[in-house]
C-alpha cells in the first residue's frame, strides 16, 4: 500500500531502475522506523533481562 502510494504520483517512471530505487528507499524507511519501535510490554521485560545480564556477567 505504501509503495503504491509513493509510485502513484510518478505516472511514468524513466526506467525500471527508477521504480526499484523508490521501492528500495521505501523499504529502508520502514526498516528504520520499525528498528526503533518497542513491542508493547517489552519495556518491563527488557529491564528484567538487563538486570539478569548484569548479575551474570558483572
> Residue 19, class by beta-carbon neighbours within 10 Å (0-12 exposed, 13-18 middle, 19+ buried)?
middle
Task: Please report the pLDDT score of residue 54 as a whole number.
Answer: 93
Residue 17's pLDDT is 84
Q: What was the pLDDT predicted at 19?
A: 79
The pTM (predicted TM-score) of the whole model is 0.50
Give tens-digit pLDDT for 1-54. Answer: 777 777 777 666 777 788 788 889 888 988 888 887 777 778 788 889 999 999
pLDDT at 55: 92
Which helix (H) or strand (E) segment is 22 a member of? helix 16-36
Q: Residue 51 has what pLDDT?
A: 93
Domain segments of the chain as ranges = 1-57
Residues 52, 53, 56, 58, CA torsion sign: negative
In the chain, beta strands by DSSP E = none
Spatial separation of the C-alpha atoms in residues 49 and 51, rounded to whole Å: 5
Residue 48 grid coordinates: 528484567
Amino acid at each position: 500500500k505504501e509503495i503504491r502510494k509513493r509510485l502513484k504520483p510518478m505516472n511514468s517512471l524513466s526506467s525500471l531502475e527508477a521504480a526499484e530505487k523508490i521501492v528500495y528507499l521505501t523499504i529502508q524507511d520502514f526498516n528504520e522506523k520499525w528498528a526503533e519501535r518497542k513491542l508493547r510490554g517489552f519495556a518491563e521485560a527488557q529491564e528484567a533481562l538487563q538486570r539478569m545480564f548484569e548479575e551474570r556477567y558483572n
